[in-house]
């Protein structure tokens, strides 16, 4: 509830839809715009939007609460308190309102009143770590009676709520050492050992802690921990851990109206538009195989995504094809030129060294291989400098598993999963002992996904028996397996938010070829619902008609079809065409740059063809390309892999996680989006 908005881009101007049939629609748009202006550090303009919200929806707490947040940003405390009084008159004891009141009290130096407001908020939301940490800081600053006892209680609760948070664990270690509980101090200190190792903490500090723990000398332990804490403060994992329990800004807004507000409104149902699929020439490889993969990225900077084609098997290969924006002389056929050939296996585009150029990583008969991308679009081999070279595996995943701003690697070995931490110089370090995941030999697939929306990337794993497994990322490179209630055996799994509720669902093909959806409810997956009895061999989520709802491209052997999502849970089959051999993979990319997604199909004979989408651009669309800042001396996941991207247009809401450089959002008949929110990974 109280979470920072990492990046918000304002997409439209101040205009509000004058033709809205309900004031609620105007209120939703004004709310969206107000949040965008607030996060762009324009609180005065944000206040204008929130004032309009309160006028349109006077019975809703949000308008008044967000007005208070805007005035807190302007350091106008009295005005903020006035609007908070209005909000509390509507909803006494509202957690968000109480938290904002506490911020106002802190800003005016009234620590006792801040502590009281936070205590009321905690009574309403006892498991909110942000409230607990805020009260802890208020108690420390305000000379509250029985402060030590109350701080100890809040720290103990925080350890229970966020057990892997290094900020909390270091504080708990200090308190335990001060109280003479050295067993607990050792336990708390042990949870941050990996972070201490990665941060190159001076040996003198760790020696002090070790000596203090051995001698059970509390002051010595606290002194060493304080040095370690000071060294860790500027590191990205520590800063992210702090942001998880303490907002970096004053006055976080409410993001949603009450449930009653949305219950009164009906989400518009998208209308169907005619789409014709025209077969266009693609590329032919010399490879043949039984499994394959397509990946897309703009390697040569011409604005059109290039193709990375991988086919596994004895006659397979990995080949890169660079696109030509102009195509043939008539401008009707896409054109590609062959750029690179590598061994058969599975390959990915990845910027592993954060230099802005796309690199390649893949598997093959001789193990993992790396190719470093150069600014001119060429590649050079770096296997000689990488510890990954020669490791035998057939499956890999790329993600920032430790939230340090660079991309790490998870490999599926015949003995277990293996986790490799990026050193950002072409080298990787094995950290299996720290991750402590075991019992997953010969994993079939690894799907990186922030299942619980807590700003770290989890893993959906399809094990050797075809069972779905969830590894929850607890940060500090630790994963804990969480149960998925499902007895089905699956052959493949991918993810998409098919119902536009902000939680990404699983789309899977079971062992019998049935296509199923497992909807997510706040990070917990529901039962598998069959939407196509199949037999389906390949599935790829994409919004082919730009209506803002994720459809599914599917292959039934040689036949290619689409399942159109009508927004009500029903799926309408639409035939696309047939290829000359069984299909291995499908991909959506805008080959002709006309605003709708074309369908790229790879078959087992190594032929890649394009089905050109003619008609999808009758609806509007938005492309989002993530480009991070390059700063000397800092790490940054430059292409935002794993970042959460939200698009709002009135009541319409979409979420995607960045798994490739360009994301495509359909807008339907809406001519604009209100805002784009990016939670950077």
Residue 83 lies in a domain: yes
Q: How far apart are the first and last CA of the chain?
A: 19
Residue 644 in this model has a pLDDT that exceeds 80: yes
Q: Is 606 left (phi over 0), alpha (psi -120 to 50) or beta?
A: left
pLDDT band at residue 267 using 50, 70 and 90 as cut-offs: low
Q: What is the pLDDT of residues 89-126, one digit of tens each?
A: 999 999 999 999 999 999 999 999 999 999 999 999 99
For a pLDDT cut of 90, what percent of the chain falls above it?
61
Quote the pLDDT of residue 13: 35
Quote the pLDDT of residue 368: 87
pLDDT band at residue 325 using 50, 70 and 90 as cut-offs: low
Quote the pLDDT of residue 402: 83
Residue 344 in this model has a pLDDT that exceeds 90: no
**Pairwise CA distance, residues 681 & 51, whole Å:** 33
Compute CA 566 distance to the chain's CA centroid, rounded to the nearest angstrom: 25
Q: What is the pLDDT of residues 582-627, one digit of tens each?
A: 999 999 999 888 999 999 999 999 899 999 999 999 999 999 999 8
Nearest-5° angle of CA 157, CA 162, CA 163? 90
Are 223 and 317 members of one domain? no
Residue 673 lies in a domain: no
Residue 630 in this model has a pLDDT that exceeds 80: no
Q: What is the pLDDT of residues 160-203, one digit of tens each?
A: 999 989 999 999 999 999 999 999 999 999 999 888 888 888 89
Are 479 and 563 members of one domain? yes
Residue 385 in this model has a pLDDT that exceeds 70: no
Quote the pLDDT of residue 1: 37
CB burial of residue 165 (10 Å; 0-12, 13-18, 19+): buried
Are 534 and 599 members of one domain? yes
Please report how the helices 182-190 and 166-179 are oriented relative to each other, as an axis angle in degrees rounded to 10: 160
Q: Helix or strand or coil: residue 158? A: helix
Query: Domain tally for the chain?
Result: 2
Structural tokens at position 521? 């409810």
DSSP 283: E
β-pairing verdict for 598-603 and 7-10: unpaired
**Pairwise CA distance, residues 36 & 30, whole Å:** 10
Residue 464 lies in a domain: yes
**Pairwise CA distance, residues 563 & 552, whole Å:** 5
Q: What is the pLDDT of residues 656-669, one digit of tens each?
A: 999 988 999 999 99
CATH code of the domain containing 215:
1.25.40.10
Quote the pLDDT of residue 19: 41
Closest CA to 268 of 102, 523, 24, 104: 24
Of the listed ranges 33-37, 165-169, 464-468, 635-639, the one predicted with least confidence = 635-639
Enclosing H/E stretch for 242: helix 236-245
List b or e across 599-638, with b for residues whose CB sees 16 or more CB atoms inside 10 angstroms.
bbbbbbbbbbbbbbbbebbebbbbebebebeeeeeebebb
Please report how the helices 61-73 and 23-39 are oriented relative to each other, as an axis angle in degrees rounded to 10: 20
Q: What is the pLDDT of residues 404-424, one digit of tens each?
A: 888 999 999 889 999 999 887
Q: Helix or strand or coil: residue 68? A: helix
Are 233 and 309 members of one domain? no
Greatest Cα pair distance in the chain: 82
Quote the pLDDT of residue 629: 77
Quote the pLDDT of residue 146: 82
CATH code of the domain containing 453:
2.130.10.10
* Mean pLDDT value of segment 363-381: 84
Q: Helix or strand or coil: residue 409? A: strand
Residue 14 in this model has a pLDDT that exceeds 60: no
Query: Is the Cβ–Cβ distance between 668 and 548 less than 8 Å?
Result: yes
Final residue before a domain boundary, out of 252, 267, 296: 252
Quote the pLDDT of residue 369: 86
Are 248 and 332 members of one domain? no
Are 89 and 238 members of one domain? yes
Residue 211 in this model has a pLDDT that exceeds 60: yes
Are 156 and 237 members of one domain? yes
Final residue before a domain boundary, out of 582, 601, 622: 622
Residue 665 lies in a domain: no
Residue 10 in this model has a pLDDT that exceeds 50: no
Query: Is the Cβ–Cβ distance between 657 and 639 less than 8 Å?
Result: no
Quote the pLDDT of residue 30: 93
* Domain, as residue range, for 65: 29-252
Residue 247 in this model has a pLDDT that exceeds 80: yes
Quote the pLDDT of residue 15: 35
Residue 507 in this model has a pLDDT that exceeds 50: yes
Average confidence score pLDDT of the chain: 88
Residue 558 in this model has a pLDDT that exceeds 70: yes
Are 290 and 154 members of one domain? no
* Mean pLDDT value of segment 495-502: 95
Quote the pLDDT of residue 16: 36
Residue 636 in this model has a pLDDT that exceeds 60: yes
Final residue before a domain boundary, out of 622, 651, 668: 622
Quote the pLDDT of residue 313: 78
Peptide bond into 99 cis (omega under 30): no
- Where is pLDDT greater, at 455 or 382? 455
Q: What is the pLDDT of residues 28-83, one digit of tens each?
A: 989 999 998 998 899 999 999 999 999 999 999 999 999 999 999 999 999 999 99
Give backbone dihedrals phi and psi of 434, rounded to 5 degrees, phi first: -80, -40
Quote the pLDDT of residue 22: 61
Are 385 and 310 members of one domain? yes
Are 167 and 54 members of one domain? yes
Query: Is the Cβ–Cβ distance between 449 and 456 less than 8 Å?
Result: no
Quote the pLDDT of residue 288: 87
- Where is pLDDT greater, at 58 or 436? 58
**Pairwise CA distance, residues 560 & 555, whole Å:** 5
Compute CA 357 distance to the chain's CA centroid, rounded to the nearest angstrom: 22
Residue 638 in this model has a pLDDT that exceeds 90: no
Residue 635 in this model has a pLDDT that exceeds 80: no
Query: Is the Cβ–Cβ distance between 579 and 603 less than 8 Å?
Result: yes
Residue 649 lies in a domain: no
Angstrom CA distances, 274 to 280, 327, 376, 577, stand at: 19, 25, 41, 16
Are 605 and 567 members of one domain? yes
pLDDT band at residue 5 using 50, 70 and 90 as cut-offs: very low
Residue 629 lies in a domain: no
Residue 18 lies in a domain: no
Quote the pLDDT of residue 531: 97
Structural tokens at position 129? 């770590």
Query: Is the Cβ–Cβ distance between 416 and 436 less than 8 Å?
Result: no
3-state helix, strand, coil in the chain (%, to 5): 30, 30, 40
Are 223 and 281 members of one domain? no
Cβ neighbour number for residue 14 with a 10 Å cutoff: 11
* Mean pLDDT value of segment 566-584: 93
For a pLDDT cut of 70, what percent of the chain falls above it?
93
Residue 527 lies in a domain: yes
* Mean pLDDT value of segment 325-346: 65
């Amino acid at each position: 509830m109280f979470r920072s908005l990492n990046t918000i881009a304002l997409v439209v101007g101040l205009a509000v839809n004058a033709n809205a049939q309900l004031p609620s629609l105007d209120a939703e748009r004004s709310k969206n715009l107000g949040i965008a202006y607030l996060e762009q550090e324009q609180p005065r303009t944000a206040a204008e939007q929130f004032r309009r919200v309160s006028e349109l929806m006077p019975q809703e707490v949000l308008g008044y609460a967000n007005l208070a947040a805007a005035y807190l940003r302007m350091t106008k405390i009295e005005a903020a308190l006035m609007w908070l009084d209005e909000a509390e008159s509507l909803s006494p004891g509202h957690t968000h309102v109480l938290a904002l009141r506490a911020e106002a009290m802190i800003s005016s130096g009234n620590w006792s009143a801040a502590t009281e407001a936070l205590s009321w908020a905690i009574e309403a939301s006892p498991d909110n770590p942000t409230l607990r940490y805020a009260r802890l800081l208020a108690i420390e600053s305000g000379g509250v009676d029985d402060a030590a006892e109350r701080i100890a209680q809040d720290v103990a609760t925080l350890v229970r709520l966020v057990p892997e948070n290094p900020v909390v664990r270091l504080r708990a270690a200090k308190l335990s050492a001060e109280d003479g509980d050295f067993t607990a101090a050792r336990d708390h200190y042990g949870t941050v050992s990996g972070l201490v190792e990665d941060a190159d903490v001076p040996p003198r500090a760790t020696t002090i802690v070790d000596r203090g723990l051995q001698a059970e000398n509390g002051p010595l332990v606290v002194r060493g921990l304080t040095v370690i804490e000071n060294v860790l403060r500027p590191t990205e994992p520590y800063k992210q851990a702090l942001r998880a329990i303490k907002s970096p800004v004053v006055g976080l807004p409410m993001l949603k109206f009450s449930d009653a507000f949305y219950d009164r409104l009906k989400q518009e149902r998208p209308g169907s538009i005619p789409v014709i699929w025209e077969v266009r020439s693609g590329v032919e490889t010399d490879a043949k195989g039984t499994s394959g993969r397509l990946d897309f990225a703009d390697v040569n900077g011409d604005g059109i995504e290039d193709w990375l084609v991988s086919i596994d098997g004895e006659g397979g290969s990995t080949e890169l094809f660079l696109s030509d924006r102009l195509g043939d002389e008539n401008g009707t056929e896409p054109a590609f030129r062959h750029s690179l050939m590598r061994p058969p296996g599975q390959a990915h585009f990845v910027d592993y060294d954060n230099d802005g150029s796309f690199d390649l990583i893949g598997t093959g008969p001789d193990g993992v291989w790396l190719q470093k991308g150069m600014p001119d679009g060429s590649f050079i081999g770096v296997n000689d400098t990488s510890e990954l070279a020669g490791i035998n595996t057939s499956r890999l995943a790329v993600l920032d598993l430790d939230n340090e701003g660079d991309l790490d690697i998870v490999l599926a070995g015949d003995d277990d999963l293996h986790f490799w931490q990026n050193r950002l110089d072409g080298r990787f370090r094995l950290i299996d002992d720290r991750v402590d995941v075991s019992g997953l030999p010969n994993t079939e697939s690894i799907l990186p996904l922030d299942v619980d929306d807590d700003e770290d990337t989890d893993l959906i794993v399809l094990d050797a028996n075809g069972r779905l497994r969830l590894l929850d990322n607890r940060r500090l490179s630790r994963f804990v397996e969480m149960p998925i209630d499902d007895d089905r055996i699956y052959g493949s799994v991918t993810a998409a938010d098919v119902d536009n509720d902000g939680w990404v669902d699983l789309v899977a093909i079971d062992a019998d070829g049935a296509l199923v959806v497992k909807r997510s409810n706040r990070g917990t997956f529901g039962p598998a619902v069959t939407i196509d009895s199949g037999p389906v061999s390949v599935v790829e989520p994409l919004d082919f008609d730009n209506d803002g709802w994720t459809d599914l491209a599917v292959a039934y052997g040689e036949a290619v079809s689409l399942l159109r999502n009508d927004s009500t849970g029903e799926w309408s089959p639409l035939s696309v065409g047939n290829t000359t051999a069984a299909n291995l993979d499908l991909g959506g990319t805008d080959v002709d740059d006309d605003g709708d997604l074309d369908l790229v199909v790879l078959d087992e004979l190594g032929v890649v063809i394009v089905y050109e989408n003619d008609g999808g651009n009758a609806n509007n669309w938005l492309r989002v390309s993530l480009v991070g800042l390059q700063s000397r001396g800092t790490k940054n996941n430059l292409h935002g892999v794993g970042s959460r991207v939200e698009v709002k247009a009135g009541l319409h809401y979409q979420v995607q996680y960045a798994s490739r450089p360009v994301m495509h959002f359909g807008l339907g008949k809406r001519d604009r989006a209100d805002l784009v929110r990016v939670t950077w990974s």
